[in-house]
Amino acid sequence: MLDKLKKKWGIKSNLQAILIMVVFSLAGSSIVWVRRLVFPLMGIHESTPFWIKFFAWLAVFFPTYQIMLLVFGFLLGQFPFFWEKEKKMVRAIGRIFVKKSS
């Protein structure tokens, strides 16, 4: 399994693969914790319609998760890996909103 991830991610070390998985785990766990704190501050509760929760998630927590990936990546020495992934993602999202000229 690690070999497939290493090939997909373009890395060589098992340790680096494990550190990257730890970064994803820490960022994911942290965003759940942050959501529990921030949703009530935003006035979002169990009875709030799903579409409001969805757009709040996109507007607030998706960018926060990306920042957490970079922070935890930096702390665990994997910042270059996550920075490259972030740049690719921003370019991909940008293509959605930028119309190509003919």
CA terminus-to-terminus distance, the chain: 44
Alpha carbons 7 and 102: distance in angstroms, whole number: 37
Q: What is the pTM of this model?
A: 0.82
Does some domain include residue 64? yes
Over the stretch 13-39, which tens digit does the pLDDT of each residue have? 999 999 999 999 999 999 999 988 999
Does some domain include residue 102? no
The number of distinct structural domains making up the chain is 1
Token pair of 19 as six digits: 């550190």
Range of the domain at 64: 2-97
Over the stretch 7-17, which tens digit does the pLDDT of each residue have? 999 999 999 99
